[in-house]
Structure 1
Amino acid sequence: MGNRGRAAERRKTKPAVIGGMIAVVVGGAGIGVYALYGGGAAADDGTTASASAGKKSPSVKTGPLSATEVTTAARTFLTAWQQGEVTKAAAGTDDSTAAASLLTGYTKDAHLKNVTLTAGTRAGDKVPFSVKGTVDFKGVSKPLAYDSALTVVRRAKDGKPLVDWHASVVHPDLQDGDTLVTGESGTPPVKALDRDGGELTTKKYPSLEPVLDGLREKYGKKAGGKAGVELRVIRGKASIAKKASDKTLLELSKGTPGTVKTTLSPGLQADAEQQVAKKARASVVLLRPSTGEILAVANTSHGFNTAFQGSLAPGSTMKVITSSLLIDKKLASADKAHPCPKYFKYGGWKFQNDDKFEIKGGTFKASFARSCNTAFISQAPDLENDDLTKQAQQVFGLSMNNWAIGVPTFDGRVPVQSQAQMAASLIGQGGVRMNPLNMASVAATVKAGTFHQPYLVAPSVDDRTLATASRTMSASTLSQLRELMQYTAAAGTAAEAMSGLGPDYGAKTGSAEVDGQKKPNGWFTAYRGDLAAAGVVQAGGHGGDTAGPIVAALLKAGG
């Protein structure tokens, strides 16, 4: 039969609904996708059948996608994927190489079979769909069901509608470069315990999900457990760079867990979870300055551990580190006069204070307590570009990427900068990035007098070497820094939140502006007795009003 005869025969065949997808039986070869472009069946080279037959190719189509184009592209891709026709499915995306690799692994490595894909209702260029299948590995099987979505885009060179390829199309927990693998888990499960010996579970403490994943990754093999069989997300290079942990999606058979003990306090962890739940996008860390033991960690959002791994401008809480630098260099002294003008120009930028206030004839202590930006910016001309970086690294143990707390962390970033960016760094903007763990450690260093690297699992468990600082503040600098923070807690911007917690206490508030965000991120770091804590409420507003009550409540509960 000639090509025209076969094409005619295909057009006469009635489409059948398979798993919610429109498909058509082609001869006896199985099931193929029924996708029309310009009235003809899609040819292998991406042109229409009529163009393949020698007719003039239509002009490249541009503009918004029609409903028909979106649903047709989605059905083409989903039907091919469902039938295991990887090459055809991948050809329906804008990155056929990456798509083919992940879709091949879906069957070969993830061991998924009997997959049914059912499209939902289109919303613009996006099509949601449900996935049902069975994970089958060495005679052990379990059903898997989840929802995903795809977006259709128009290819520039020929106008063809294609699926915008990302790994999340295959599973929403996948990031580009990640893979799905079923097998004996490389890391056995762990039973994590609090400091009193009680089991830590996500049911009791939802915030601990990423922490428990990190503990398993680090200690699964070392704790003496036996691996089970699981479907897991294995992180690729990009995800690893973000310190994302592998994730279990489905447990086919249980392993035997090993046991790892943490420093978390069950009561304070419960308090931390309750406190962050009162605010949207809140995170907090509580630790013990004398040892570095982490007593609680909590986030409103349970998917990403902002408290340990966030990378946010810390705003004026950074002035604790900057103040120690200025006092060390004799550029400021707690009770001596210090400038706090409305404005200060440096490096081509004009800096100002909140509400453009100024303090006439005030001391450095007054400027710190009221969080005067220009009091710090005005000292930039007398500083070297790397002074703040060295102070953060050498005294506070930050920005060296060498903390080993037991789970993944971001250890702060204070890059060497110049001109206006260097000046902005002095008030926690510019390129400076921190998280609540980092800033709790800053308050703890002031309280203890020296840096103790925070930790969640005792170093004796696996003979880890904890990070250290290369120098400590002088007795004079330390005394003045404590005076600044105590005065701020008693009579400055932190006074309302810290009311009733004195006299052995200190605090600093912060607000960090973020581009495209109406309200700043609110920061608060403080210590009381042998406790130190820091918190952030993203897009919450001023730190004293948002993060302050969270931190103060934990300091009170731990007292």
Structure 2
Amino acid sequence: MDHVTEWDSARHRVRRFRAIVGVVAISLVIFGGVAGAVLLLNTPGRTVERAEEAKQQAAKESVARAERRMKTFTSAWERGKWDVAGQYTDSPGSAASLLASMHRNLAPRPFSIEVGRPTASSSTRSERKSGAKAYVVPFTVRMKVPRVGTYTYESKARIVQTAARDVVHFEPSMVHPALKVGQTLAVARMSTRGSILDRTGDVLAAATLVGEVDANGRGTSGLEKRYDKQLTGSGSGSAYLIAITDRETGRAVRPLRTPDAKLGKDVHTTIDPDVQRAAANALGGVTTPAALVALKPSTGDILAVANEPAGYNRAFIGEYPPGSTFKVITSAALLRAGLSPSDVLECPRYEWVYGWRFTNQNEFVLPEGSTFRDAFAHSCNTAFVGARDKLDDRALARTAAAFGIGGVWDTGASTYDGSVPVNTDVLDRSAAMIGQGRDLASPLVMASVAGTVKNGKFVQPRLVPEAVRHPYQAPESLDPNVVTDLRSMMRSVVTDGAGEALRGLPGRPHAKTGTAEYGNASPRRTHAWMIGYQEDSDLAWAVLLEDGGSGGSDAGPVAAAFLKNLTGKGPS
């Protein structure tokens, strides 16, 4: 048995103490390193970075999903598996039916589709609510069609991703950009002549404006005549072409351009099909020759041109006394001369000028103390003729020029652009004050007058933008204060005056009526006018009824029918 001395015992305790201290120190170092690493890895900056990396990775996976879905759809399409392809869309039956129809009609061999890279697309409100994502995927279709030759076109599809599945949003324009509901592609023997198109790219439905083509394929009237060389191109006669075709009737609507086809060049117009339809329908029940023009004041785009009966384009080239619609211009001149809408302007039964008697329709009078605004709203001739001395012989011509009248308009079509000569004497000026005498205008000109008030300045109308080289610029602009007063006075026509046919219609219409005498018959025969614009939309218009009676009671209901037809279908 060993003996433990006091000194050995102490030394042993020291060693144990040092060992414990060493273990603790090592533990602290290890723990501190791990803790430090944990703290380092969980700093806010690193957390954001990792979240962003995860977000980017998720986006890449989402794009890849969209591309895969599109490729499965196009693969089935290429292989002629119409029902299978339809199942990848949100409208299986419609998609399968259109794909099958197109391929039966074209019988393309070979046929291939190349899918491009998806890009993120904005989601609809319902998609956002459900958390869906959307991508647009471009693709290129290549085919060879019997009797036609090679044909290549580009289109794009919209892929909608939800938690449940990814679908291709189906609409005819996805299958081919030119297709609309109820249409397909087919091979047809068609004229190689180009077409007159509306602003949406469809064949324009306005017979008088379009014109006619003779048996030799030559344009003989309207735009067909004006653009005959462009429409004919280098081709002649007819050929087998791929055509947009109505599925119900089988009628070929218009041909598509292919590299092998020598087609004439289409003529694109500004006509809006909805506005054109509303105008044509408004004239449907009219029994006298009539015209209706509508345009977009901010750009001058002509949205509708309707003539009844068809054949003569009175809307563009007719030369008519504008009657009291011209009082918009006369009022602009009087306002510029210092007259205020609230100033008294008496409206007697007669106004005599050098033995010539001016009167109002049905010889009405307005109460004593009536104002300039009242005279305008009720279209009092005697009040305006009575104000003749406030203007000199050049005032009306100068003011009309600010509305573009008398210039040479480059619209892309034949037009009569109006005439307001410098007056020669007091009698000539008195007649001109109420749109009679030598004042002449077309319905297009008077629609532009209303559009100028709406827009605040003249913008020349245009029908075929690509053909407009030198749009006419008015030599001067209207004073903003004059424009403000004119707008207020034109609204008064509807709320308090002769434009009651428009009262209560949506869009806050502003208007001016007109009853223009012409000829030498006794009693004098009259044209009926109404012009105006919508405060709540970019639309101005003019209605003319030849030998049509009164502006308020006859032209007014036609204008009202036009605006009612447009409800919910404002210009694009």
Q: 1:259 aligned to 259, 263, 266, which one? A: 266
| Residue in 2 that maps onto 1:398 | 405
2:331 aligned residue (288, 300, 323) = 323
Q: Secondary structure at the match of 1:520?
A: strand
**Which of 383, 395, 402 is the equivalent residue of 2:391?**
383
Q: In the alignment, which of 269, 275, 282 is matched to residue 268 of structure 1? A: 275
CA distance in 2, matches of 1:362, 1:499: 22
Look up the equivalent residue of 1:208 and give its one-letter code: L
Measured at CA, do residues 262 and 209 of structure 1 come closer, stay the same or move farther in structure 2, by a change above 3 Å?
A: closer
Q: Is the 8 A contact 1:403 1:467 kept in 2?
A: yes
Letter in 2 for 1:266: P
Name the CA distance, whole Å, in 2 between partners of 1:435 and 1:463: 20
Q: Does 1:482 align with 2:487?
A: yes
Instruction: Indicate conservation of the 8 Å contact 2:235/2:262, yes or no.
Output: yes
**Shift of residue 222, structure 1, vs aligned partner:** 4.4
Q: Residue 533 of structure 1 aligns to which amino acid in structure 2? A: W
**Which stretch has the larger CA shift, 539-548 or 512-521?**
512-521
Q: Report the equivalent of 1:83.
A: none
Letter in 2 for 1:265: D
Counterpart-to-counterpart distance in 1, 2:517 and 2:312: 22
Question: C-alpha separation between the residues in 2 aligned to 1:205 and 1:379?
Answer: 43
Q: Equivalent residue of 1:513, what SS?
A: strand
Render the CA deviation track for 1:466-509: whole Å, top value 9, x for unaligned.
111122221211111101100101121002x2122256331000
Q: 1:19-418 maps to which residues of 2 (within 5 A)?
A: 189-200=193-204, 204-210=205-211, 213-222=221-230, 225-226=233-234, 228=236, 256-279=263-286, 280-330=288-338, 332-359=339-366, 360-393=368-401, 395-400=402-407, 402-417=408-423, 418=425
TM-score (norm 1): 0.58
Shift of 1:316: 0.4
Instruction: State yes or no: 1:550 paired with 2:555.
Output: no
Paired position in structure 2 for 1:419: 426
User: Is the contact between residue 325 and residue 529 of structure 2 (CA under 8 Å) also seen in structure 1?
Assistant: yes
Q: 1:364 to 1:456 in 2, by over 3 A?
A: same
Q: Who is 2:450 aligned against?
A: 443
**Structure 2 Cα separation of the partners of residues 341 and 216 of structure 1:** 52
- AA aligned opposite 1:499: R
Counterpart CA distance in 1 for 2:413 and 2:471 is 13
Question: For each residue in 1:12-40, what CA deviation from the matched residue of structure 2 results, as whole angstroms up to 9, or x when unmatched?
Answer: xxxxxxxxxxxxxxxxxxxxxxxxxxxxx
* Shift in CA distance, 380/463, structure 1 to aligned 2, threshold 3 Å: closer
Distance 1:503 1:293, change over 3 A: closer
Distance in 1 between residues matched to 2:399 and 2:283, nearest whole Å? 31
In the other structure, the counterpart of 1:500 is 504
The whole-number CA distance in structure 2 between the counterparts of 1:366 and 1:339 is 9
Counterpart-to-counterpart distance in 1, 2:406 and 2:222: 21
Aligned position for 1:467: 472
* Counterpart AA for 1:479: T
CA distance in 2, matches of 1:222, 1:362: 58
Q: What SS does structure 2 have at the residue aligned with 1:406?
A: coil
Shift of the 333–215 alpha-carbon distance from structure 1 to 2, 3 Å rule, reads same
CA distance in 2, matches of 1:462, 1:355: 47
**Structure-1 residue corresponding to 2:248:** none
CA deviations on 1:515-542 (whole Å, 9 max, x unpaired) are: 2556411000010131100011111111
Larger radius of gyration: 2
Matches of 1:345 and 1:445 in 2, distance apart? Answer: 33
Distance 2:488 2:377 in 1: 10
Change (3 A) 1:522 1:391: same
Separation of aligned partners in 2, 1:364 and 1:450: 23
Q: Distance in 2 between matches of 1:386 and 1:220?
A: 42
For 1:463 and 1:447, the matched residues in 2 are separated by: 23
Q: Contact (CA 8 Å) 1:190, 1:219: kept in 2 or not?
A: no
Contact 2:211 2:222 in 1 (8 A): yes
Contact 1:531 1:555 in 2 (8 A): no
- For structure 1, the residue ranges without an aligned partner over 5 or more in a row are 1-187, 230-253
Pairing partner for 1:541 from 521, 543, 549: 549
Structure 2 letter corresponding to 1:510:
G
Match of 2:528 in 1: 522
Q: Which has the higher helix share?
A: 2
One-letter code of the match for 2:386?
S
Contact 1:522 / 1:547 at 8 angstroms: preserved in 2?
Answer: yes
CA apart distance, 1:513: 1.2
CA distance in 1, matches of 2:332, 2:477: 11
Inter-partner Cα distance in structure 2 for 1:391 and 1:472 = 9
C-alpha separation between the residues in 2 aligned to 1:521 and 1:499? 22
Once the two structures are TM-superposed, the CA of residue 339 in structure 1 deviates from its matched residue by 2.0
- Asked if the contact 1:210–1:302 (Cα under 8 Å) also holds between the matched residues in 2, the reply is no
Instruction: Give the AA of the match of 1:500.
Output: G
SS in structure 1 of the partner of residue 437 of structure 2: coil
From 409, 429, 452, the counterpart of 2:459 = 452
TM-score by length of 2: 0.56
Q: Given that residues 333 and 364 in structure 1 are in contact (C-alpha distance below 8 angstroms), is that contact kept between their aligned partners in structure 2? A: yes
Compared CA separation, residues 474 and 198, structure 1 to 2 (3 A): same
1:449 to partner: Cα distance: 0.3
Uncovered stretches (5+) of structure 2, i.e. residues with no partner: 1-191, 213-218, 238-260
Cα deviations across residues 398-438 of structure 1 (Å, max 9, x unaligned)? Answer: 112x1011110000111122221221011011011112101
Over aligned residue pairs, what C-alpha RMSD do you find?
A: 2.4
Contact map agreement 2:462 2:468 (CA 8 A) in 1:
no
Alignment-mate amino acid for residue 482 of structure 2: T
Alignment partners' CA distance in 2, 1:227 and 1:344? 65
> CA separation in 1, counterparts of 2:355 and 2:236?
60
Deviations 1:265-321 (A, max 9, x none): 112212222222311211110111111111100111212100000001111000001
- SS of aligned partner of 2:518: coil
